[in-house]
């Protein structure tokens, strides 16, 4: 079976397209920023090769139909300002796990909410490779802006997953949020 083309999504201000090796500098800048990783379940990047490895990882997830991650770009500007997508999808239980990040200079401008809405429209459409019933979001309780983005998108808080992730030298709780297809369609 030939590989499916990478889907390009657009919103009012954004274009979401494939992450490329040329995005490594911006990915490194995001994930080496202590303000980003303070509220994210990854270790702070120390070398540019970590950004290259992350881009390869996201590309392999798409190629194996187990996840998808888009570059977030402002329309008319080729530079990446963040990324978003479904870190994994499970065909058996029709679910995906949402993830997103932005460079700090783009925080508080509605770009995360706009990108999340765009990819939710896609995942609940007939264009997505599998029919999805549930979208999950796992967020560190300290990440109040991300919690706000998730709640505005219609997700519901389900509970705390105690010591779910290990990052920055310690185990951390993660809040679990979900959005179910019938709730999304009713909104």
* 62-88 pLDDT tens trace: 999 899 999 999 999 999 999 999 988
What is the structure's pLDDT at 2? Answer: 43
**Average pLDDT score over residue span 123-149:** 95
**DSSP E strand boundaries for the chain:** 9-10, 14-18, 68-74, 80-90, 95-102, 134-139, 156-167, 170-180
| Structure confidence by residue, pLDDT tens digits, 8-65 | 999 999 999 999 999 999 999 999 999 998 887 788 999 999 999 999 999 999 999 8
Domains and CATH numbers, the chain: 9-133 (3.40.630.30)
DSSP letter (8 states) at residue 66: S
The pLDDT score that the predictor gives to residue 74 is 98
0.85 exceeded by pTM = yes
Residue 99: phi and psi, rounded to 5, are -150, 150
* CA torsion, ordered 148, 153, 155, 159, to nearest 10 deg: -20
As a whole number of angstroms, the distance between CA 79 and CA 150 comes to 25
Least Cα distance to 50 among 67, 32, 38, 66 occurs for 32
């Amino acid at each position: 079976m030939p590989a499916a083309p990478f889907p390009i999504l657009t919103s009012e201000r954004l274009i979401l397209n494939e992450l490329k090796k040329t995005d490594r500098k911006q990915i490194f800048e995001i994930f080496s920023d202590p303000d980003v990783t303070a509220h994210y379940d990854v270790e702070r990047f120390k070398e540019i090769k970590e950004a290259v490895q992350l881009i390869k990882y996201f590309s392999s997830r798409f190629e194996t139909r187990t996840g998808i991650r888009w570059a977030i770009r402002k329309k008319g500007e080729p530079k990446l300002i963040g990324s978003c997508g479904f870190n994994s999808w499970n065909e058996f239980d029709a679910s995906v796990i949402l993830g997103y990040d932005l460079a700090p200079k783009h925080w508080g401008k509605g770009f995360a909410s706009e990108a999340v809405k765009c990819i939710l429209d896609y995942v609940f459409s007939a264009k997505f490779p599998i029919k999805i019933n549930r979208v999950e979001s796992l967020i560190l309780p300290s990440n109040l802006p991300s919690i706000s983005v998730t709640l505005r998108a219609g997700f519901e808080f389900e509970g705390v997953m105690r010591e779910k992730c290990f990052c920055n030298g310690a185990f951390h709780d993660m809040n679990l949020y979900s959005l179910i297809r019938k709730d999304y369609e009713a909104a």
